[in-house]
Structure formats: structure tokens, C-alpha cells
A = this chain, B = another copy of it.
Amino acid sequence: MSATKLVVDAMGGDDAPSVVLEGSAAAVEHNPDLEVILTGPADVIEPFAAEHDRITAHPTTEVIAMDEHPAEAVRNKKDSSIVVGCRLVKEGEGDGFFSAGSTGACLAAATIVMGRLKGVKRPGLVSVIPSPQAQTVICDLGANADCKPDYLVQFATMGSVYAQVVLGVENPRIGLLSIGEEDTKGSEFVLECNKLMHEQVPGFIGNAEGRDIALGGFDVIVTDGFTGNVALKTYEGLGSALLSGLRTALTANTRSKIGASLCMSGINDLRAQLDPDAHGGAQLLGVQGVCMVGHGNSNAKAIENGLLISANAVEQKMTERLADLLDEGE
């Protein structure tokens, strides 16, 4: 097997470049078939690459900041670590791209520079939402605030392939996010989607509700990017508020601190079950190559996870499988 080559944006994330470099070194250490090509300022990445096997440097002169307008930044900063990263994948230098930088800029660069797969109406942002009771893939998590019903049919295919590759689920159970399990419940848009999904999506088992994300019952939940992003952030917000509330509750007084020390391992397990970094971020599916966007606040472990998951997607030929499935509809 030839090596898997990932292009990594050294400048992406709140704690870049240090955590990106550290995470990249850990990932190539962990996966002996992985090679990393770093994009970023020469003085940052060249000395680091010189010291590490299977890490090379491709210097760039520009950086896209988190608050820049994504499409404009991609147009104007042709030598940025994100745009060059996507171009290297397009040109076959790399098999996939990873960045913990601006999600919007990564989506724009991947769509414009790598290009869509043939037949894809809109690329979709996909990830696994972890809970103590379930692992649910959601698509779209925010790439498309406005959708047409046939986009969601393609999101179902994307989510399904993602669940096969990342979760190892053979025949994913696919749901449509709505406000009642009956086919007649939902907005006009969702009613149309429901009808199309019944007709065109093998594996579609009906409407899902918000609570099913954490409680399980579906391997893949399909939705427009607006609703998916609201659900994701609602989820993350409550997870964060509860873990922080738990910390307060457990350190309220000496008695509870002693108690907490005795049950800390279970609580750490619970925290790990909710950890968004375990899945390294979200992948943009429907473009010509693997493209993963990590959380802005990623630490080195999250970067490492993101690279290993991206490498797995390359090795399992996720893009090729999607290309075959999504081209059929055209």
C-alpha cells in the first residue's frame, strides 16, 4: 500500500501552530503509513519538518483569519495555508486536507479549489455527535443554510457512507430531522423531504426528533444546514454547561470533594463519551478529496485524532465510494 498523504494547515486553530505541529508528529508516529505535508510560514514549518520523518513543508505566505469573509478570503489569498492546502489535494500532491481554522474558508476553498464530485448538488458537513447512549452522524451541520429537498437526499448518501467508514455500521438507519415521528409532522420543506426520502433513500426509516440525537435509534440524521448547526451548537452548549455544573457540584464542599475523588474515573469516562475532539471535527463530503475541519479550540490530541480519521477516510476510499453513489442521480 502506498502512503496516505495529508496536507495540514499549520496555521489553523486558536493554538496554532504549536498544537498542530505536535498533533501532526503524534499522528505520523501512530500511523506508519501516514505522511503529512504542512502548509504555513517557512520559518514555522521548515525547521519542524527537518526534524521529523514523514513530515514535509510546503511554505505559504498568507493566512486566513477566523473573522474574514470566507469566499472573499479564498479569492484574495491565493497563497494562504488553506487555499494552497486544497490546491495540493486537487493537484494530487495530497490525498486529503485538514485544518482547524475558519470553517467557512475551508468549505469555500474545498468547494472552489478541489471542486465538487460529479453530480453533487451541494457538499455537506458531516460529523459524529457523541453521547453516552449513541453515536449519531448528522449531515448537514452548517455548510448550507438554505437547502432544497433533493440536497437532503444526497446528504443521506453522504451520511450513510460516513457512518459505514467512521462507525463501521453496515446498513445505517437513516432518519430525517423533524418535530414528530409521523410522516405528516414538520414544516412544508420537511414534508417534501420526507416524501422524497421514502422514494429515493434506501435505509430511510422515518422522521427523527431532536432527542434521538443523544438517545439513539438512528445512525444517520439528515437535515438542512441551518437546523443541523442549531442542533449541534445547542448540544455542545448544554454538554459544556452540564460538565461545568458537575464540576461545581462535586467541589462544593469537603464532603463532596472526597466523594468526587472516589467516583472521578466514572465521571471522566462520561466526559470522554461527550468529547467532541474524539472525532476530530467535521468532514466536508461531496468534494474531490477528503476535507476535514477541526474545532478552533483543538488541542494536540484533537489534531492527532482528526488526522487519523482523515487518513482512515482516505484509506477506505470514502471519496471514491461517494463519487460512485452520487453520480448515479445525474
A residues at B contact (CB < 8 Å): 131-134, 142, 145-146, 177-179, 185-188, 190, 209-215, 223-227, 229-242, 244-246, 248-250, 252, 255-267, 269-270, 273-274
Contacts and interface: CB of A to CB of B under 8 A. Distances in A.
A240 B211 contact: yes
B259 A237 contact: no
A145 B186 contact: yes
A249 B267 contact: yes
**A interface, over-half SS:** helix
A213 to B, nearest CB: 6
A274 B214 CA distance: 16
21 contacts: A131-B245, A132-B248, A134-B241, A146-B188, A177-B230, A178-B226, A209-B230, A210-B233, A210-B235, A213-B238, A231-B231, A234-B234, A234-B235, A235-B235, A235-B238, A246-B246, A250-B266, A252-B265, A256-B265, A259-B263, A263-B263
A266 B251 CA distance: 9
A144 to B, nearest CB: 9
Contacts of A146: 187-188
- Copies of this protein in the assembly total 2
Contacts of A225: 179
A240 to B, nearest CB: 7
Nearest to A144: B187
Given A186-B226, A215-B241, A239-B242, 4 more contacts: A132-B245, A187-B226, A231-B234, A259-B262
Nearest to A242: B242
Given A213-B237, A263-B255, A242 B132 contact: yes
B255 A270 contact: no
A251 to B, nearest CB: 8
B210 A234 contact: yes
Contacts of A249: 263, 266-267, 269-270
